[in-house]
Amino acid sequence: MVPLSEHEQRMLDEIESALYAEDPKFASSVTKKRVGRPTARRRLIAILGFLIGLAMLVGGLMVDFDIGGLKILSFAGFLVMFASAAFGLLSSGRGGAAAEPGQSGSRGGTKSTGGGKPSFSERMESRFQRRFDQDDH
């Protein structure tokens, strides 16, 4: 993976803080679904499940039981292995976002309607328009 440049990191932080400002409930639900480092218990369960799936896969090849030419036990073993790997890689969702950037206090409204600060979507539209206009010249 290539690290983000300083400008790209600033833009990403700005977008993230604007997302928290506009819709904190959605932003917190999205950040909870991150792929993170699994706990020791999750790793152990995933490893045991993977080994059981591997045993089922190999055992299914040795046992002469198939339906329509499909080795059912081996197929089930593969599914168990896949599910165990997915379980081990996905974080549990606890402790996803520790603090919401750009939020020092409570916010009154989610959108600005008057002469105040423009909303996130308005700022993004204006940036896109500026870039589009620069490309034409």
- Closest CA relative to residue 52, chosen from 25, 26, 83: 83
Are the C-beta atoms of 19 and 44 separated by less than 8 Å?
no
- Name the strand (E) or helix (H) holding 71: strand 70-71
pLDDT one-digit tens code per residue, 12-58: 888 888 888 888 787 777 665 555 566 888 889 999 999 999 999 99
Structure pTM?
A: 0.43
Does residue 71 carry a pLDDT above 60? yes
Give buried/exposed letters for 7-33 (b at 16+ CB in 10 A, else e). Answer: eeeeeeeeebbbbbbeeeeebeeebee
Where in the chain are the domains?
Answer: 45-90
